[in-house]
Amino acid sequence: ELQALASALRASESWQRLAVTRAALTEPDRQQLRIECMALRAAVSSEHVDEFEPHFALKRHQFREEQMREAIARLTGRAAAYANAFTDAADTVDFAVDGVLPQLVTYGRPKDIGAAADLDFLGENQITFQPTVPTFGTGMLVFVSDPLVEEVGQITGANFNFSNGVESNRVTLQLLSGAAASWGF
């Protein structure tokens, strides 16, 4: 299962974009990144963070995140593209480690839930639909074999509605690009 997760990460759009932006870096771009990295290290040193907020962990974290956003905003051209791609790839890894891996350990291989009724695309990699199989829990990994989707995703929300004796449930799913192929669906 961990091999499949690693394959899915490598196949993700964010990881592919990171590879492309890394390959495009020139020496002046790398120099720009090194200079900004040194400035960022100084900005988030223990002394500066303590000076900003000596006690509250959330405020300290927010300060560090703001310093990171400001550092990335100062970058230009290919260096900025690389930094943004790196941030997206790091977010993908965080999602995999915090959201997907615990589900794999708990439930194993994603469950094939078949086709999706009343399918709506909400934006990049997110859908909502009416399940055609018994309900399942938020956080689970599922494979939607609907021809419009054919991908693994993590359930991020579920609405259960019973009105006038009619059940009308909806599930929101964050699609994990490339995951279906890595699990052999």
The domain spans of the chain are 2-92, 111-182
Q: What confidence score (pLDDT) does residue 181 get? A: 75
Helix (H, G, I), strand (E, B) or coil at 165: coil
* Strands across the sheet containing 111-114: 111-114, 141-144, 151-159, 170-175, 126-131, 116-123
Q: Which residues fall within 8 angstroms of residue 174, CB to CB, at 6 or more apart? A: 125, 126, 153, 154, 156
Q: CB neighbours (10 Å) of residue 113?
A: 22
Residue 58 has pLDDT above 90, yes or no: yes
Q: What confidence score (pLDDT) does residue 79 get? A: 98
62-109 per-position pLDDT tens digit: 999 999 999 999 999 999 999 999 999 999 888 878 877 777 777 778
109-155 per-position pLDDT tens digit: 888 888 888 888 998 789 998 888 776 778 888 888 888 888 888 88
Helix (H, G, I), strand (E, B) or coil at 123: strand
173/91 Cα distance (integer angstroms)? 17
Residue 32 has pLDDT above 80, yes or no: yes
Q: What confidence score (pLDDT) does residue 167 get? A: 64
Contact 87, 104 (CB under 8 A): no
Q: What confidence score (pLDDT) does residue 135 get? A: 63
Give the pLDDT band of residue 177 (cuts 50, 70, 90).
Answer: confident
Contact 138, 106 (CB under 8 A): no
Nearest Cα neighbor of 128 from 118, 140, 114, 115 is 118
**C-alpha separations of 176 from 52, 101, 122 in Å:** 38, 13, 14
Residue 48 has pLDDT above 80, yes or no: yes
Residue 6 or 44, more confident? 44
